[in-house]
Amino acid sequence: MNAFDREVIVWLNGLSGRWAVVDGLARAVASDYLMPIVFSVSIVALWFASRHRAERFTYQMAALVGMSAVGFSNIAVWLLNITWARPRPFVPLGDELTLLFYPPTDPSFPANGVAVGFAAGSAVWRANKTFGALLCAGAVLFGASRVYAGVFWPTDIAGGAAVGIIVTWLTVWLGRLLEPLPTLFIRLARAFGLA
C-alpha cells in the first residue's frame, strides 16, 4: 500500500454510509455482473450495428478485436495475480473501511473488470470513438464504485486500465499479423447468416 492509495480509498470509502441511495447505486455498479455484462453485450451489439456493408465490416472487425482482447485481458490479469498477490484494501485497513460489498478473496491488482472494460472500450473506440469512450467511462465508473465499496485500491483501477489498453493494442497487432484469417472469419460468419 502506498500513501496515495491509502488516502484516496479512506476518503472515498469514508463517504459511504451517508446516503442509502448512493450506496445502493454503488453496490449495483460494483457488482460482479452488471458492468461486465454491459461490456460484453456492447461488443455483440457492435457486431450487428450497421446496415452499410463497409461500416459493418469495420464494426465487426472491432468487435472481433474486442472479444479477443477481453479474453486476453482476463489471461493477463490472471498471470499478474499469480505473480503478485496484492491484498484487497479491507485486509490491511480493516476497521478504517466500510465494506459495502462481499469481501472478494482473489488478489486486488489489477482490477479485472476494469481491464475488461478498457479492452472492450479501446477496441470499440477504433471503430466508433463515442461508443468506445462511453465504454471506457463505464469502466472508470465501475472501478470508482469498487473503490467506494472498499474492495479495490485506486492504483488497481489504473493497472486494470493499462492492462486493457495494452492488451487491445497487442490484439490489433496480432490481428494484422494473422490477416487474412480475421477477414475470412467474418466472411464465414456472413455465409452462415451470423454477421
pLDDT digits (tens, 9 = 90+) for 121-174: 999 999 999 999 999 999 999 999 999 998 999 999 999 999 999 999 999 999
Which residues lie below 8 Å from residue 57, measured CB to CB, with a gap of 6+?
186
Taking the CA of residue 182 as centre, how many other CA atoms within 13 Å lie in the half-sphere pointing to its CB?
21
Whose cell is 451517508? That residue is: 18
| pLDDT attached to residue 138 | 96
Residues 59-69 have a mean pLDDT of 95
| pLDDT attached to residue 34 | 92
More confident residue, 184 or 50: 184
| pLDDT attached to residue 92 | 87
| pLDDT attached to residue 50 | 79
Quick: pLDDT tens for 1-50. Answer: 688 988 999 898 888 878 888 888 988 998 988 999 999 999 999 988 87
| pLDDT attached to residue 101 | 80
What is the per-residue burial (b if ≥16 Cβ within 10 Å, else e) of 139-174? bbbbbbbbbbbbbbbbbbbebbbebbbbbbeebbee
The whole-angstrom separation of Cα 74 and Cα 16 is: 29
**Residue 128, helix vs strand vs coil:** coil
The whole-angstrom separation of Cα 123 and Cα 165 is: 9
In terms of C-beta density within 10 A (0-12 exposed, 13-18 middle, 19 or more buried), how is residue 57 classed?
A: middle
| pLDDT attached to residue 1 | 62
Query: Does position 102 have pLDDT exceeding 70, yes or no?
Result: yes
More confident residue, 124 or 101: 124
More confident residue, 100 or 155: 155
- Confidence class of residue 189 from pLDDT cuts 50, 70 and 90? confident
The architecture of the domain spanning 3-191 is: Up-down Bundle (1.20)
| pTM exceeding 0.85 | yes
Query: Does position 51 have pLDDT exceeding 90, yes or no?
Result: no
The whole-angstrom separation of Cα 156 and Cα 186 is: 35
